[in-house]
Amino acid sequence: MTLNAGAPSPAVGAPGATGTGASAAIPRNPGRRDLGLRATLLFPDREIVERFYVPLIYTACRTCYSELEPEEIFRKAVAGEVDPVRQQRLIQGVIESGHGSTIEHVVFTFAITGVSRTLSHQLVRHRAGVAFDQQSQRYVSYKKGATTMLPGTIAEADPALLERYEDQVEGALELYTELLEAGIPGEDARFVFPNATRTNLVMTANLRALIHMSGLRLCTMAQWEIRRLFQLIRHEVFAVSPFLGSFLAPKCVALGYCDEAGNRDEHCPIRPHKDNVLAAWADKSRRERSRGPPRRSARAGPRGPGIGAVRKAASPGTSSRVPVRNTRPMIHPTNWSSRSTLGSQTKFAGLEAQPGGTESRGGVVT
């Protein structure tokens, strides 16, 4: 049996942390230590992505707004007759507007190795746009011994408690071997395996599903092991396409605010919590109402054109239809963060220490 003592322990006050802190803190970045797990992009390679993936997404987007046939749009995009920057600009606008069907046409396949069964139980809950094949504990007999994951909180716990944990895990794996030697089928002997047992998977996901999964699992509130897995997945996608990889980010980055109930105190400062956003919005509205209605002029007012404009429009030889203008600015929660004190945040907490160099999107360095 192999125990991995490289797992991180969350900071004091964070979910799963030990000790008593006065306030919560961002859990330690799981990328700081080697957990013994890997994510390797099997398909596509960089050449395929650069040549076909962006043109394919562009074709799906452009088909919705063009009289041209899809094959002609695709041919022109692949041949370079359409500026790649123009293709990316259209794709970015479509993605950010929420029209995700256009990015379901491209997929990424990963080999995921050495993760715990605790992680895989979380991972396979993602179903739409994702396919999994996992190492079977029924058909694999683990004659060389199964390996396990050791959480950092347990590794750094009281030595006596750590020893009891290791004895429990080792005892379960030893019993598994004895059951096999006694003729018990592997499909029954496996019942003694702990959730810490490592496993391997192949996962294929379309880009829309991958963005959704990353939004949840890159969040600092996510469980440390699966958070690390998606840091590695993001790095793999970024290596073949920095443009597409840039969309893999915590969900708060796209939303402009955090919607996690456990972050109402904003101990994770990537984005302000939505409760505070809405409170600031309500406070601004109250201040505007307390100042009274804006002054209206003869030329135009906040509810439409002035009297002079109406008379002119109603005069002979002119149309009586007058366009109505609304001069009061709209305030939306997704735009609020740019005016907050957190607007200068320059790093995705939990995405730092990534191999492959600096990665950025929207002015946020990771």
- Confidence category of residue 145, pLDDT binned at 50, 70, 90: confident
Q: What is the pLDDT of residue 364?
A: 36
In this prediction, residue 165 has a pLDDT band, given cuts at 50, 70 and 90, of very high
Amino acid found at 171: G
CATH class name, domain 1-248: alpha beta
| pLDDT confidence of residue 322 | 40
Of 159-163, 295-299, 318-322, the range with the highest mean pLDDT is: 159-163
pLDDT mean over 286-297: 81
Lowest mean pLDDT among 24-28, 157-161, 238-242, 256-260: 24-28
Confidence of residue 366 (pLDDT cuts 50, 70, 90): very low
pLDDT over 70 percentage in the chain: 74
Residue 233: the pLDDT is: 98
pLDDT of residue 23: 46
pLDDT for 5:
39
* Mean of the per-residue pLDDT values of the chain: 81
pLDDT in tens, 215-274: 999 999 999 999 999 999 999 999 999 999 999 999 999 999 999 999 999 999 999 999
Instruction: pLDDT band for 299, please (50, 70, 90 cuts).
Output: low
Segment 303-315 mean pLDDT: 46
pLDDT of residue 150: 95
98 has a pLDDT exceeding 50 = yes
Domain ranges of the chain: 1-248, 260-289+330-366
pLDDT of residue 300: 53
Q: Omega before 302 cis (within 30°)?
A: no
Lowest mean pLDDT among 83-87, 289-293, 361-365: 361-365
CA geometry: angle 197, 200, 204, nearest 5 deg: 140
Mean pLDDT calculated for residue range 167-179: 96
pLDDT of residue 104: 98
Residue 9 is predicted with a pLDDT of: 36
Catalytic residues: 217
Q: How confident is the model at residue 34 (pLDDT cuts 50, 70, 90)?
A: confident
Q: Is residue 113 over pLDDT 80?
A: yes
pLDDT of residue 24: 61
Q: What are phi and psi of 40, to 5 degrees?
A: -125, 125
pLDDT at 33: 77
| pLDDT, tens digit, 9 for 90 and up, residues 320-362 | 444 434 433 333 333 323 333 333 333 443 443 344 333 334 3
Percentage with pLDDT > 90 across the chain: 67
Q: Residue type at 159?
A: P
Instruction: Check pLDDT > 80 for residue 6.
Output: no
Q: Kindly state the tokens that stand for 240.
A: 């073949």
